[in-house]
Structure 1
Amino acid sequence: MSAPEHSEHSEHSDDGIRLSKRLAEQLGCSRREAEIYIENGAVQVDGITVQALGSRVHPAQTVTVNEGAKLQEAPPVTLLLHKPAGYTVRNPQGARGHTRGKVGNAYDLLVPANLADMDTPAPLLVLDKHFRNLECLLPVPVPASGLMVFTQDHRVARKLQEDALHLEQECIVEVRGTIDEDGLERLCDGTAIDGKRLPRIKVSWQNETHLRFALKGIFPEEIAEMCECVGLEVTGMKRQRIGRISLAKLPEGQWRYAMPWERF
């Protein structure tokens, strides 16, 4: 008999009643349906939108639901981030703010305040739910900057995982030193690293200190070793594109939503 008493006390206490229970009683719907309204940002308590499922309300507080709110779960999202150099992707879920040392955590940049003001459409409401259970795909090395992909969508994750070796990635690489006489050819034909055969790729000079790499079957973390084997030291790297999605004008440290019609 003690378990039901404890359950009742957890629902009704001096801190009020759970918002989801109050809303379910108010609308005559299930608790899960009430939670969907809350997660979708459609519920206000005393005129303030509340999205946290564990929120509690007192009897005197007014709970309302947006007119025309749809009872369907918000679709999963994919976020595109311009990661600054020096940021890792450690401690992904539920561990923000615990990155050690001077290395920042790219997940900490995925907050509403860092949504880029661009001409790319965004949902009418940025939901707390959009920042949960995000998986980082095809990361770049900590010293590198550029395009990063974080997704809740299992279809996007599967696409990037299965096609990782076939998607072209474009990186601009800053180098110093003197390249070997046949260095550019070796970078292109896959023989830059002694004893290791790499796929053919496209490498060209942008200017005296920057090379453009168009990679397939090679990951950005291998570029430094490739350059070292032809007499160059990598001093900076920025990924500009993954497949058909580019960094474009996305400001450093900010993110945007990937649109439904965009394909890698």
Structure 2
Amino acid sequence: MTEPLRLSKRLVELVGCSRREAELFIEGGWVTVDGEVVDTPQFKVTTEQVALDPLAQATAPEPVTLLFNAPAGMQVQMAMASLKAETLSQEHRFSKRPLKGHFLRQSTGCDLQAGASGLMVFTQDWRILRKLTSDADRIEQEYLVDVSGEMIDEGLNALSRGMLYQGWELPAVKASWQSENRLRFALKNPPPGVFALLCEAVGLKAQALRRIRIGGVSIGKVPAGQWRYLSSQEKF
């Protein structure tokens, strides 16, 4: 009976590469076992057919950024645990093949408002993380806020100018009605709790918040609890 071997060792035997090259080939998604991609060098094989893609490159996979549509109130750690191949949005499965390495060493920036749903960003790219943190004051965010109550006269104009409310100096924001009971807000680096105050200041009560955009990146048609990859054309 054939003894099980690590996939990386079998690949070394098959193609004559170094152990490190074998690991990079496998982690990069270039190796199949009986026709299925396996990206774990420790995976054990016996008599299975192991093949290396002719276009394979022995380089570390490029860092990726994942855009997650968080259900309301989901904490960061729970959201991170939800990032897996199975929860990739069906509509976005054509762009990139998920690898186990895509879900490792992910960091998040641009915190979601407490209790809100919508766009969370997880990234392996230090340049994106730096932009989301160091440049937060310059990046506009867009939220949809479900409201109840009756807005005061000229409420939208008051929101666009900024105002003083119960001792709080509220920022000037872009605000518009999306529907009869839903407002769209756009502002840079919103402080915690600001949407509740903005709504109260014009006679409304915030019922639910959903972030749909950070800078030039929107969550798009991703169902709640699922995610997609940031494309190379998208910029925060």
The residue aligned with 1:134 is 106
Letter in 1 for 2:91: M
TM superposition shift of 1:22: 3.1
More strand by share: 2
The residue aligned with 1:118 is 91
The residue aligned with 1:107 is 80
Structure 2 CA distance for partners of 1:196 and 1:138, relative to 1, 3 Å: same
The CA deviation string for residues 103-122 of structure 1, in whole angstroms up to 9 with x for no partner, is xx222432222322437951
Which runs of 5 or more residues in structure 2 are unaligned?
none
Where in structure 2 are the equivalents of 1:1-264 lying within 5 Å? 16-58=4-46, 60-90=47-77, 105-118=78-91, 122-123=95-96, 125-179=97-151, 184-219=156-191, 221-264=193-236
The residue aligned with 1:6 is none
- TM-score, with length taken from structure 1: 0.77
TM superposition shift of 1:213: 0.8
The CA deviation string for residues 60-79 of structure 1, in whole angstroms up to 9 with x for no partner, is 44432122222222211111
Checking the alignment, whether the CA contact within 8 Å between 1:166 and 1:216 is kept in structure 2 is: yes
- TM-score, with length taken from structure 2: 0.85
**Backbone CA RMSD of aligned residues:** 2.7
State the SS of the aligned residue for 2:91.
coil
Checking the alignment, whether the CA contact within 8 Å between 1:81 and 1:148 is kept in structure 2 is: yes
Letter in 2 for 1:17: L
Letter in 2 for 1:143: G
State the SS of the aligned residue for 1:87.
coil
Q: Aligned equivalents of 2:174 and 2:194: distance in 1? A: 15
Which runs of 5 or more residues in structure 1 are unaligned?
1-13, 91-104
Checking the alignment, whether the CA contact within 8 Å between 1:112 and 1:126 is kept in structure 2 is: yes
TM superposition shift of 1:35: 0.7
Letter in 1 for 2:55: G
TM superposition shift of 1:131: 1.6
| Corresponding residue pairs, total | 235
State the SS of the aligned residue for 1:206.
strand
Structure 2 CA distance for partners of 1:228 and 1:45, relative to 1, 3 Å: same
The CA deviation string for residues 179-202 of structure 1, in whole angstroms up to 9 with x for no partner, is 455754553333354333343221
Q: Aligned equivalents of 1:112 and 1:64: distance in 2? A: 22
Further displaced range: 203-212 or 182-191: 182-191
